[in-house]
């Protein structure tokens, strides 16, 4: 904040008067450096445009001094308060702060809003507060942190909020007297446009609140920033430049935060550690829950801990529940609240959106909207682990939803949703259900006894929408549900989802009207047929699964009553004798599974009498999985154009394929060639030709398959030629691969396992992630590996001598690209190559890994030099340990072993066992850590090395015998024992030297400085060996970045079309 003491701001701005005289003198003095003078002029102009204090406005002068003191004191109190609150209580926040700072782009002169979005308790306010504390003192002239906007808006209204943050930004008491202050008003706007400000709006609940608070924000002074935290992403989408979603804490971070609040600075005992993991698992990475539970359990006994943790499984902590319930109550629509409760009670793990929409209301577009709203408000989220785009609900939110339902009534039969197996069984046994019940979902694997259901169990449940009785494994269920006789009651007409695995009756209830039924699932049931009478209509039915209903003899004609049927699964219905006549009329059928239907008479007749089958009239079958009775189908003449996937293990020739085919599996078919018409399948994604032992060549038209992602030629032992990828006139022998391979610019996986005659590889595609050349016994070298390549399997490439350097990228730039390499059995690798491989692996794996241990096998007989403790033989003593466990730079522990495997050859391989003992001078802190590694020894090989790395977190959190203490700062010595065996830790089952010998072993206590030093040495070695100077080496990274884009720009050359394949396999 500038202070204009005895000078008019306009004089400073225009640099006239005394300022003009001074600048004239400066211009004469710095005639040869006028840029400096211009910079000074610009700085004064900028300062004069800021909102400051003018001494002429304060009489007497003491008022000016008082105003300056008040302003500084206000800022100091805010900063000191924030610093005191957060110091020492933050875990896992550094990377998040860096991300927010990068989104804010403080150096730019624009005005921007960024959003921080996440579920309740995930740390949005904490993150915004820390960023505010860090930036407000040094980068901005006015700052305001407006807390609890949602709550304050409800209590005091929008004007109160405006007055609060505008007064803090401008420090002008006149604003407090205004009736309706707003940013765009002339008085306020004139001040704000000259003052760079930082404003945090915490816990904004609606777009109405945000619009009212930031109206006219784009007129703020250049460089101003606004941060908004919210649980509802829709609040941000109109105005936010960037949106950052706060993710949950990792397992290690969760334990660290919980320990901080449960134990303070003290380390937990071993028994406490086991209980701590249970609490951390329950909190599921939510910082609020970890803090609350840690504080609650602080200083309590083990028995109190166990009681509290068991209670939490049913009754959540009230403070956590209250924080989460805000999001549920913020769902203005009752229907969306019901969707949330349905999902909370129906799904225990991740689930697909399609499944949720199908179960909750296939016809209702409101369900689709509702699920989107729940995602926007962080009440459900994308499952980061799933590879299929599944959704998940946080465990605490699921428990909150179930608590809301549980609170509906003391008696379970009077609640809207039932999920507890014991509750449901009691209700079905005693006929305690009521019209309040809408959803039943439970896992039969959770019941501990056989249950006899009342005949009238469902008679009062007239509003039942979902009945889901399922089991994890229908063939391995210990206890079951029984009915002594048929149900004498109807099932609700509102039922849209009906699943009853191991359904115990021969028929569905006679008075059940399935008009609203969307899915019918009776896996492993005892039904002989579905209904004893003709069903009038099943207009909503989309899916029917009667798989493994071994007594089922027939199903009704569905062509007229279920015109919208899309999926029919009759796998394992061994008594089924008739099904096909109506299939041709099911125009929307997209999935049909008849595998194992051994008594289907019409199909047996076809398979006995003909080798020709025309599927033209089969409707829109997308996945034809029938492999019935091993029928002798040899010729598939033509298919409907709606078929999306064909799997035909018995067909001998395929001359014409459906144009819309996306997946073709001809594995095991004794064909010697593919028809050239395959090139017309522009949408083909997967082509499987594995084990086609007669296949000798592929058509030249295969290069036209521009959508191909996966090509499997494993086991094609007679394949002699492979066509040029982009030039259809040339052919390529299997001893080498076309240099045009690099033009597969999107290829991610390349499998060449077992190509024993392959001698070299061409330049590899820039997007390649995985390369498998295992057992390529003639391969002598590997070309330059692409920047993003993260997996290389060159196991038993016995002729391999050299591997080009792996491009280096800065640690943390691509954290998801961790690297896996396997050069076991590559005895001819030169030493430089070995050193580079080992160093690259150590650097990237050890820096990127937090939890999982790591293994690396490679040829050689020398322990790497950076293993500071090493010896010959299998025993190693470390006499003096440096401080480890309380050292933040300590990352973990690596063990390296040199094996002599020359004479051992065992199909199961052997175990290399590791035992580490940590001791002290007075032996009062003993500790033992054990592990092992399986080594494949299916063939003789030269000396091999095994490197095993155990991160610090894994060492500290591993399961240990209760009578042992884990190493702490008291550990002063250590010893390592390594031995081979066929069994875990059986020291008396040791091989003699004639089978396997431990030649050397070493230990590396890994810290960050070691890795940084090793990284620098490795890069220097690469540059020296390859003759690159620093600039060339640094440029290699950027070259890799632009390669794909450059090819796209060159894509106008039609003679060289780009193929977007992602996977390619040759074996």
Question: Per-residue confidence at 759, pLDDT binned at 50, 70, 90?
Answer: confident
Burial (CB count within 10 angstroms: exposed 0-12, middle 13-18, buried 19+), residue 600? buried
Is-contact 694 674, C-beta < 8 A? no
CB 44 within 8 A of CB 89: no
Neighbours of 533 (CB within 10 A): 9
Q: Is residue 822 part of a domain?
A: no
Q: Provide the pLDDT for residue 650.
A: 42
Q: Is the pLDDT of residue 597 over 70?
A: yes
Task: Pick the closest to residue 281 from 1016, 957, 737 (CA basis).
Answer: 957
Q: Are residues 39 and 143 in the same domain?
A: no
| pLDDT score, position 702 | 78
Residue 983 has pLDDT above 50, yes or no: no
76 band by pLDDT with thresholds 50, 70 and 90? low
If asked whether residues 82 and 124 sit together in one domain, one would say yes
Question: Quick check: is 279 in a domain?
Answer: yes
How far apart CA 26 and CA 34 sit, in angstroms, is 9
pLDDT tier, 115 (very low <50, low <70, confident <90, very high otherwise): very high
Number of domains in the chain: 5
pLDDT of residue 264 exceeding 80, the answer is no
Nearest C-alpha neighbor of 899 from the set 857, 943, 838: 943
Residue 457 inside a domain? The answer is: no
What SS3 state is found at 100? Answer: helix
What is the DSSP secondary structure assignment for residue 394, as one 8-state letter? -
Cis peptide, bond prior to residue 293, ω within 30 of zero: no
Question: For residue range 949-978, what is the model confidence (pLDDT) as tens digits?
Answer: 888 777 766 544 433 444 555 667 888 888
Distance separating alpha carbons of residues 184 and 767, to the nearest angstrom: 50
User: Contact at 8 Å (CB) between 458 and 438?
Assistant: no
Asked whether residue 398 falls in the same domain as residue 262, the answer is no
Cβ contact 1002:893 at 8 Å: no
pLDDT value of residue 615: 34
Dihedral pair phi/psi, residue 190, rounded to 5°: -60, -35
Query: Has residue 658 been placed in a domain?
Result: no
- What pLDDT shows up at residue 953? 72
Note whether 444 and 477 are within 8 A (CB).
yes
Please tell me whether residues 849 and 897 are part of one structural domain. Answer: yes
- What is the CATH number for 138? 3.40.50.300
CA 318, 321, 322, 323 torsion: positive or negative? positive
Nearest to 1006 by CA among 853, 866, 891, 895: 891
496 neighbors 471 (Cβ within 8 angstroms): no
pLDDT tier, 527 (very low <50, low <70, confident <90, very high otherwise): very high
Domain boundary among 404, 431, 446: 404
Q: What is the DSSP string of 547-593?
A: TT-TT--B---HHHH-TT--EEE-TT-TT--B-GGGGGG-TT--EEE
What is 795-863 written as a DSSP string? TT-TT--EEPPPPP--TTSSTT---EEE-TT-TT--HHHHHHHHHHHHHHHHHH-SSS-EEEEEE-SS-
CA distances to 34, 42, 107, 597, 815 from 38, in Å: 6, 6, 21, 89, 45
**Most confident of the following: 134-143, 514-523, 527-536, 884-893:** 514-523
Taking a C-beta distance cutoff of 8 angstroms, is the pair 895, 988 a contact?
Answer: no
Domain identity same for 231 and 350: no
What's the pLDDT at 16? 85
80, pLDDT greater than 60 = no
Q: Quick check: 923 and 957 in contact, CB under 8 A?
A: no
Asked whether residue 209 falls in the same domain as residue 344, the answer is no
Name the residue with higher pLDDT: 248 or 9.
Answer: 248
Q: How high is the pLDDT of residue 606?
A: 32
Give the C-alpha distances (Å, rounded to integers) separating 858 from 145, 798, 825, 999, 1019. 56, 12, 7, 15, 21
Same domain, 201 and 291: no
Query: Over 80: is that where the pLDDT of 626 sits?
Result: no
* Structural contact between residues 261 and 287, judged by C-beta atoms closer than 8 angstroms: no
- The CA distance from 519 to 358, in Å, is 8
Q: What is the DSSP letter of 463?
A: T
Q: Which pLDDT band, with edges at 50, 70 and 90, does 568 fall under?
A: confident
Query: Rounded mean pLDDT of 31-55?
Result: 81
pLDDT exceeds 90 at position 233: yes
Whether 181 shows a pLDDT value over 90: the answer reads no
Domain end point (choices 404, 429, 454): 404
- End position of a domain, from candidates 225, 245, 265: 245
Asked if residue 262 and residue 218 are part of one domain, the reply reads no
Higher pLDDT, 130 or 557: 130
User: Do 29 and 73 have their domain in common?
Assistant: no
Residue 447: inside a domain, yes or no?
A: no
893 bridge partner residues? 950, 1005
150 Rama sector, left if φ>0, alpha if ψ -120 to 50, beta otherwise = alpha
Q: Average model confidence (pLDDT) for the chain?
A: 76
Q: How many CB atoms are located within 10 Å of the residue 680 CB?
A: 15
Mean pLDDT of the region 836-840:
69
Please tell me whether residue 689 adopts helix, strand or coil conformation.
coil
pLDDT at residue 524 greater than cutoff 50? yes
Q: What is the pLDDT confidence band of residue 194, given thresholds at 50, 70 and 90?
A: confident
> pLDDT at residue 442 above 90?
yes
**Phi, psi torsion values for 184, nearest 5 degrees:** -80, -5
Q: Is the residue at 832 inside a domain?
A: no
Indicate the SS3 state at residue 474: coil
Distances (CA, A) of 924 to 886, 955, 964, 966, 972: 18, 20, 10, 11, 11
Is there a single domain that holds both residue 117 and residue 138? yes
69-78 long-range contacts, CB within 8 A, separation 24+ = 70/171, 71/1, 71/171, 74/171, 75/136, 75/137, 75/143, 78/136, 78/143, 78/145
3-state secondary structure 169-218: HHCCHHHHHCCCCCCCCHHHHHHHCCCCEEEEECCCCCHHHHHHHHCCHH
pLDDT class of 387 with cuts at 50, 70, 90: low
- Kindly state whether residue 259 falls inside one of the protein's structural domains: yes
> Angle 582-587-592 (CA atoms, 0-180°, nearest 5)?
70
Residues 6+ apart with CB under 8 A from 73: none
Distance CA(498)–CA(258), nearest Å, equals 43
Query: Which among 674, 943, 926 is positioned nearest to 828, based on CA atoms?
Result: 943
The burial of 506, by beta-carbon neighbours within 10 Å (0-12 exposed, 13-18 middle, 19 or more buried), is given as middle
Q: What is the pLDDT of residue 642?
A: 43
The span from the CA of 941 to the CA of 598, in Å, is: 50
Least confident among 496-505, 811-820, 1031-1040: 1031-1040
Residues ≥6 apart with Cβ < 8 Å to 209? 149, 150, 153, 158, 235
Query: Which contacts qualify for 832-835: CB closer than 8 Å, 24 or more apart?
Result: 832/1021, 832/1025, 833/801, 833/802, 833/803, 834/858, 834/859, 834/860, 835/864, 835/1021
How many Å separate Cα 788 from the centre of its chain? 19
Which structural domain range is residue 907 located in?
Answer: 843-1027
Q: How far apart are the first and last CA of the chain?
A: 72
Helix 251-263 to helix 287-297 angle, to the nearest 10 degrees?
Answer: 30
Please tell me the least confidently modeled range out of 108-117, 544-553, 627-636. Answer: 627-636
More confident of the two residues 584 and 371: 371
CB 224 within 8 A of CB 111: yes
The C-alpha angle 10, 16, 20, rounded to 5 degrees, equals 140
d(CA 452, CA 481): 6
- Does residue 446 fall inside a structural domain? no
The answer on 989 and 866 residing in a single domain is yes
What would you measure as the largest C-alpha separation in the chain, in angstroms? 114
| 8 Å CB contact between 655 and 634 | no
In the predicted model, is pLDDT for residue 636 greater than 70?
no
User: Angle 18-29/34-48 helices, nearest 10 degrees?
Assistant: 160
Distance of CA 423 to the CA centre of its chain: 35
CA–centroid distance for 786 within its chain: 24
Report how far residue 760's alpha carbon sits from residue 1045's, in angstroms, rounded to the nearest whole number: 27
Cβ–Cβ under 8 Å, residues 198 and 143: yes
Dihedral class, residue 105 (left if φ above 0, else alpha if ψ from -120 to 50, else beta): left
Given a cut of 80, whether residue 411 has pLDDT beyond it is yes
CA distances from 623 to 34, 482, 522 (A): 77, 35, 21
pLDDT score recorded for residue 934 = 77
pTM attached to this predicted model: 0.58
Q: 81 and 176 share a domain?
A: yes
């Amino acid at each position: 904040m500038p202070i204009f003491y005895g000078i008019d701001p306009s004089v400073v701005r225009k640099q006239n008067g005394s300022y003009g005289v001074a600048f004239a003198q400066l211009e004469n003095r710095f005639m040869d450096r006028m840029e400096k003078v211009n910079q000074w002029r610009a700085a004064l102009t900028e300062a004069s445009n800021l909102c400051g204090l003018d001494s002429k406005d304060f009489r007497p002068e003491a008022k000016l001094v008082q105003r300056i003191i008040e302003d500084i004191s206000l800022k100091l109190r805010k900063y000191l308060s924030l610093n005191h609150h957060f110091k020492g209580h933050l875990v896992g926040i550094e990377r998040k702060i860096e991300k927010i700072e990068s989104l804010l782009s403080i150096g730019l002169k624009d005005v921007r809003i960024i959003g921080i979005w996440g579920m309740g308790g995930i740390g949005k306010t904490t993150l915004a507060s820390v960023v505010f504390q860090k930036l407000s003192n040094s980068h901005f002239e006015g700052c305001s942190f407006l807390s609890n906007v949602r709550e304050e808006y409800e209590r005091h209204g929008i004007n109160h909020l405006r007055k609060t943050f505008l007064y803090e930004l401008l420090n002008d008491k006149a604003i407090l007297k205004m009736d309706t202050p707003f940013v765009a008003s002339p008085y306020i706007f004139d001040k704000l446009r000259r003052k760079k400000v930082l404003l945090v709006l915490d816990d904004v609940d609606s777009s109405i609140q945000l619009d009212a608070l930031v109206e006219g924000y784009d007129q703020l002074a250049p460089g101003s920033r606004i941060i908004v935290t919210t649980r509802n992403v829709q609040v941000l989408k109109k105005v936010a430049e960037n949106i950052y979603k706060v993710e949950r804490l990792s397992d290690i971070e969760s334990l660290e935060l919980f320990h901080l609040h449960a134990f303070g600075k003290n380390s937990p005992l071993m028994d406490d550690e086991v209980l701590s993991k249970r609490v951390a698992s329950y909190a599921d990475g939510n910082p609020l829950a970890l803090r609350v539970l840690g504080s609650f359990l602080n200083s309590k006994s083990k028995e109190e801990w166990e009681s509290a943790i068991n209670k939490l499984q049913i009754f959540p902590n009230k403070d956590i529940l209250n924080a989460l319930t805000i999001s549920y109550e913020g769902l203005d629509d009752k229907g969306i609240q019901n969707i949330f409760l349905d999902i909370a009670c129906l799904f225990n793990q991740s689930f697909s959106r399609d499944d949720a929409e199908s179960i909750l209301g296939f016809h209702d577009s409101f369900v689709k909207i509702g699920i989107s709203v729940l995602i926007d408000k962080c009440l459900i989220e994308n499952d980061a682990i799933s590879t299929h785009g599944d959704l998940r609900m946080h465990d605490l939110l699921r428990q909150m939803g179930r608590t809301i339902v549980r609170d509906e009534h003391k008696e379970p039969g009077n609640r809207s949703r039932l999920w507890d197996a014991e509750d449901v069984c009691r209700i079905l046994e005693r006929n305690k259900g009521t019209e309040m019940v809408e959803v039943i979902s439970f896992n039969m694997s959770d019941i501990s006894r056989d249950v006899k259901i009342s005949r009238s169990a469902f008679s009062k449940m007239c509003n039942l929408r979902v009945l889901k009785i399922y089991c994890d494994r229908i063939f391995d269920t210990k206890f079951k549900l029984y009915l002594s006789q048929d149900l004498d009651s109807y099932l609700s007409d509102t039922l849209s989802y009906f699943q009853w695995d191991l359904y115990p009756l021969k028929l569905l209830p006679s008075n059940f009207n399935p008009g609203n039924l969307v899915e019918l699932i009776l896996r492993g049931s005892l039904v002989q047929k579905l209904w004893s009478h003709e069903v009038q209509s099943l207009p909503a039915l989309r899916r029917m699964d009667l798989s493994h209903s071994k007594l089922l003899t027939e199903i009704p004609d569905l062509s007229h009553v279920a015109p919208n049927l899309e999926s029919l699964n009759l796998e394992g219905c061994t008594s089924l004798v008739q099904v096909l006549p109506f299939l041709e009329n099911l125009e929307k059928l997209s999935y049909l599974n008849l595998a194992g239907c051994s008594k289907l008479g019409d199909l047996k007749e076809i398979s006995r009498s003909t080798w020709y089958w025309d599927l033209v009239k089969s409707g829109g079958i997308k996945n034809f999985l029938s492999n019935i009775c091993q029928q002798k189908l040899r010729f598939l003449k033509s298919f409907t154009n709606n078929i999306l996937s064909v799997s035909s293990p018995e067909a001998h020739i395929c001359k014409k394929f459906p144009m819309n085919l996306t997946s073709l599996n001809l594995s095991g078919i004794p064909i010697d060639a593919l028809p050239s018409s395959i090139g017309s399948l522009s949408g083909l994604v997967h082509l499987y030709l594995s084990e086609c032992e007669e296949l000798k060549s592929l058509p030249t038209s295969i290069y036209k398959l521009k959508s191909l992602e996966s090509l499997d030629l494993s086991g094609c032992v007679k394949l002699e030629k492979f066509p040029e990828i982009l030039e259809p006139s040339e052919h390529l022998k299997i001893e080498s691969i076309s240099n045009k391979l690099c033009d597969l610019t999107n290829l991610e996986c390349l499998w060449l396992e077992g190509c024993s005659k392959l001698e070299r590889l061409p330049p590899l595609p820039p997007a390649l992630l995985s390369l498998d050349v295992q057992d390529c016994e003639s391969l002598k070298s590997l070309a330059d590996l692409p920047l993003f390549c993260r997996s290389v399997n060159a196991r038993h490439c016995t002729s391999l001598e050299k591997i080009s350097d792996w491009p280096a990228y800065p640690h943390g730039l691509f954290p998801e690209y961790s690297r896996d390499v396997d050069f076991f059995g590559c005895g001819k690798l030169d030493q430089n190559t070995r050193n580079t491989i080992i160093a690259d692996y150590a650097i990237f794996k050890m820096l990127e890994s937090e939890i999982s241990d790591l293994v690396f096998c490679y040829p050689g007989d020398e322990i790497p030099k950076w293993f500071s403790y090493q010896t010959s033989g299998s025993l190693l003593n470390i006499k003096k340990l440096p401080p480890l466990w309380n050292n933040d730079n300590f990352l973990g522990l690596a063990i390296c072993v040199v094996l002599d495997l020359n004479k051992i050859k065992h199909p199961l391989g052997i175990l290399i066992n590791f035992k580490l003992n940590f001791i002290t001078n007075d032996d009062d802190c003993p500790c033992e850590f054990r592990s092992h590694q399986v080594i494949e020894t299916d063939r003789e090989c030269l000396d091999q090395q095994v490197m095993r790395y155990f991160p610090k977190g894994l060492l500290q959190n591993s399961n240990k015998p209760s009578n042992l203490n884990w190493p702490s700062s008291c550990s002063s010595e250590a010893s390592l024992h390594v031995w081979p065996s066929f069994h875990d830790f059986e020291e008396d089952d040791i091989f003699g030297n004639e089978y396997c010998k431990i030649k050397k072993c070493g230990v590396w206590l890994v810290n960050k400085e070691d890795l940084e030093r090793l990284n620098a040495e490795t890069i220097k070695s690469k540059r020296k060996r390859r003759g690159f100077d620093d600039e060339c080496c640094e440029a290699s990274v950027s070259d890799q970045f632009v390669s794909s884009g450059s090819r796209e720009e060159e894509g106008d050359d039609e003679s060289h079309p780009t193929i977007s394949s992602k996977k390619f396999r040759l074996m």
